[in-house]
């Protein structure tokens, strides 16, 4: 009888005690910083420039080949909506095309860029081709 009482006592102790977790959440707000300057740039507009890039996508996620150099500092919104994990092949192709246009022409920026996006979708495999055209912009002075 004693082993039964010990087993019952241990079981009741085990059932009455347990793990507890507490979560104290603190409401937070995003940190948005705006930097405002009174600087103005004098940009000389030159001849027309262009650049092209293409990328192959497998299963809508994996990038096969494509360019390895990209323009940075500009948000290139894709035409296909959002992709998981921030992977947007259209934005990557736009960035690579802009890089090629600026680098090949010696420009500082592209004035009035226009993007032509062509997507060939074969269900599991996709090819994205992007061509950017615009005018060569050269910064002469910043005041």
* pLDDT value at residue 49: 94
pLDDT band of residue 87 (cuts 50, 70, 90) is: low
Determine, yes or no, domain membership for 95: yes
Mean pLDDT of all residues belonging to the chain: 81
- Higher pLDDT: 62 or 126? It is 126
* pLDDT value at residue 80: 46
Helix, strand, coil tally for the chain in percent (to 5) = 25, 35, 40
Determine, yes or no, domain membership for 18: no
- Is residue 21 predicted with pLDDT exceeding 70? no
Question: Angle at CA 80, nearest 5°, toward 111 and 132?
Answer: 25
Determine, yes or no, domain membership for 128: yes
Q: What is the pLDDT of residues 95-130, one digit of tens each?
A: 899 999 999 999 998 998 999 999 898 888 889 899
Number of domains making up the chain? 1
Q: Which domain holds residue 60?
A: 41-142
For residue 54, which of 132, 136, 133 has the smallest C-alpha distance?
Answer: 132
Are 89 and 55 a contacting pair, CB within 8 Å? yes
What's the Cα-to-Cα distance from 20 to each of 11, 13, 16, 23, 24, rounded to whole Å? Answer: 18, 15, 12, 10, 13
């Amino acid at each position: 009888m004693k082993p039964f009482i010990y087993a019952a006592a241990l079981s009741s102790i085990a059932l009455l005690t347990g793990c507890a977790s507490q979560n104290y959440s603190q409401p937070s707000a995003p940190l948005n910083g705006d930097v405002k300057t009174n600087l103005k740039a004098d940009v000389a507009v030159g001849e027309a420039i262009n650049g092209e890039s293409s990328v192959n996508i497998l299963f809508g996620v994996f990038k096969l080949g494509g360019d390895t150099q990209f323009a940075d500092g500009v948000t290139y919104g894709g035409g296909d909506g959002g992709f998981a994990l921030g992977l947007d092949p259209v934005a990557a192709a736009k960035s690579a095309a802009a890089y090629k246009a600026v680098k090949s022409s010696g420009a500082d920026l592209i004035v009035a860029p226009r993007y032509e996006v062509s997507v060939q979708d074969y269900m599991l495999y996709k090819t994205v081709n992007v061509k950017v055209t615009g005018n060569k912009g050269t910064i002469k002075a910043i005041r």
